[in-house]
């Protein structure tokens, strides 16, 4: 009696829930950041020294601290909601800037070849040889801590990854017959790259951008934790972790809750990136 082999499940079976719940969490955080003035119970910078370091659920004067209060009596929930604005603005802006610069330079290097390729890719190698966190810390320390400087520094340190991906993808696409035909018919390099090459490599670049988004959130939190990000009294998850570490033994919620929100957001973004990769991977079609 021969055994009947069970059918092999399709690689994308069972990905529905894993694909959608992380995206829902990211969407909720984005909505919370956009509608923070209406969702936050109080102004994130309003102090109530009588109600400092109150545990979650405590009522002090006119404040109802759903997630507790910090060392200055500020509402932790309100500061977490407003802190999401900083993280998302930095992540979105840095990903857009670094992705645009890196993808453009990578495509130009692969299409032009010659000395252009040599110069661009050697600069990429130099940037990739320096630890990104160390480079970001040094640059922010020189330029000064601010929201704009954090965005520029993160974009400066992360564009080489996009350049590498765009370079390798463009090398294969540039040899396609339709690309050569477009060049022979008189299309300029700009038209060929952005009309014929970019649409064919945008999938791989999008996967990198999705994964980089979570990394940018972590980098921003790390710089703010070190005092090199946005400055007080602006609410930031990293700065909340930095001040809350001094009260872990007596007021665990000050550092634990922002850290939990940070963990959940980065996990959701990374899982969303995996889902995007599975969606665009031709082996799963």
Please report, for the domain that includes residue 141, its CATH number: 1.10.3720.10
Contact 147, 90 (CB under 8 A): yes
DSSP state letter for 233: T
Q: Which two tokens stand for residue 64?
A: 């109802």
For the segment 80-111, what is each residue's pLDDT rounded down to a tens digit?
Answer: 999 999 999 999 999 999 999 999 999 999 98
pLDDT at position 84: 93
Is 125 a domain residue?
A: yes
Query: In 11-139, which ranges are E strands?
Result: 58-60, 63-65
Q: Provide the 8-state DSSP code for 247.
A: G
Burial of 259 (0-12, 13-18, 19+ CB in 10 A): middle
Percent of the chain with pLDDT over 90: 46
**Bridge partner list, 75:** 69
pLDDT at 94: 94
Distance of alpha carbon 218 from alpha carbon 87, whole angstroms: 8
Q: Which residues contact 283 (CB under 8 A, 6 or more apart)?
A: 11
- Specify the pLDDT at position 2: 45
For residues 87 and 130, which has the higher predicted lDDT (pLDDT)?
87
Q: Which residues contact 174 (CB under 8 A, 6 or more apart)?
A: 110, 111, 197
Q: How is residue 137 written in tokens?
A: 């810390």
**What is the residue range of 185's domain?**
82-284
Q: Is residue 75 assigned to a domain?
A: no
Whether 21 is in a domain gets the answer: no
- The answer to whether position 73 is within a domain reads no
Domains contained in the chain, number: 1
Give tens-digit pLDDT for 158-193. 999 999 999 999 988 877 777 777 777 766 778 888
Computed on alpha carbons and rounded to an integer, the radius of gyration of the chain in Å comes to 23
pTM of the shown model: 0.85
- On whether residue 27 sits in a domain, the answer given is no
Q: Is residue 66 part of a domain?
A: no
User: What separation in angstroms does the CA of 172 have from each of 24, 47, 177, 188?
Assistant: 35, 59, 11, 19
Q: What pLDDT, on a 0 to 100 scale, did the predictor assign at position 108?
A: 92
In a domain, 69, yes or no: no
The pLDDT score that the predictor gives to residue 254 is 93
Task: Look over the chain and give the mean of its residue pLDDT values, rounded to a whole number.
Answer: 85
Q: 175 by DSSP, 3-state: which? A: coil
Is 262 a domain residue? yes
- How far is residue 73's CA from residue 71's CA, in Å, rounded to a whole number? 6
How many Cα neighbours within 13 Å face the side chain of 283? 3
């Amino acid at each position: 009696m021969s055994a009947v082999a069970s059918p092999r499940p399709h690689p994308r079976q069972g990905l529905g829930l894993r694909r959608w719940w992380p995206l829902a969490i990211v969407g909720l955080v984005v909505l919370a950041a956009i509608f923070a003035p209406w969702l936050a119970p109080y102004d994130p910078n309003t102090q109530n020294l009588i109600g400092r370091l109150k545990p979650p659920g405590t009522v002090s004067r006119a404040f109802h601290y759903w997630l507790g209060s910090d060392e200055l009596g500020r509402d932790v929930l309100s500061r977490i909601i407003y802190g999401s604005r900083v993280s998302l603005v930095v992540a979105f802006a840095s990903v857009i800037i670094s992705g645009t610069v890196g993808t453009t330079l990578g495509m130009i290097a692969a299409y032009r070849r010659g000395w252009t390729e040599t110069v661009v890719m050697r600069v990429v190698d130099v940037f990739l040889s320096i630890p990104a966190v160390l480079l970001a810390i040094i640059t922010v320390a020189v330029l000064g801590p601010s929201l704009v400087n954090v965005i520029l520094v993160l974009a400066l340190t992360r564009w080489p990854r996009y350049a590498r991906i765009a370079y390798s993808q463009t090398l294969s696409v540039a040899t396609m017959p339709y690309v050569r035909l477009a060049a022979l018919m008189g299309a300029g390099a700009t038209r060929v790259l952005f009309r014929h090459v970019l649409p064919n490599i945008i999938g791989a670049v999008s996967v990198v951008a999705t994964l980089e988004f979570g990394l940018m959130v972590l980098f921003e939190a790390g710089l703010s934790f070190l005092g090199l990000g946005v400055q007080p009294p602006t609410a930031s998850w990293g700065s909340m972790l930095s001040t809350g570490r001094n009260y872990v033994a007596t007021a665990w919620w000050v550092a634990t809750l922002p850290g939990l929100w940070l963990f959940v957001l980065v996990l959701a973004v990374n899982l969303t990136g995996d889902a995007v990769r599975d969606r665009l991977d031709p082996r799963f079609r």
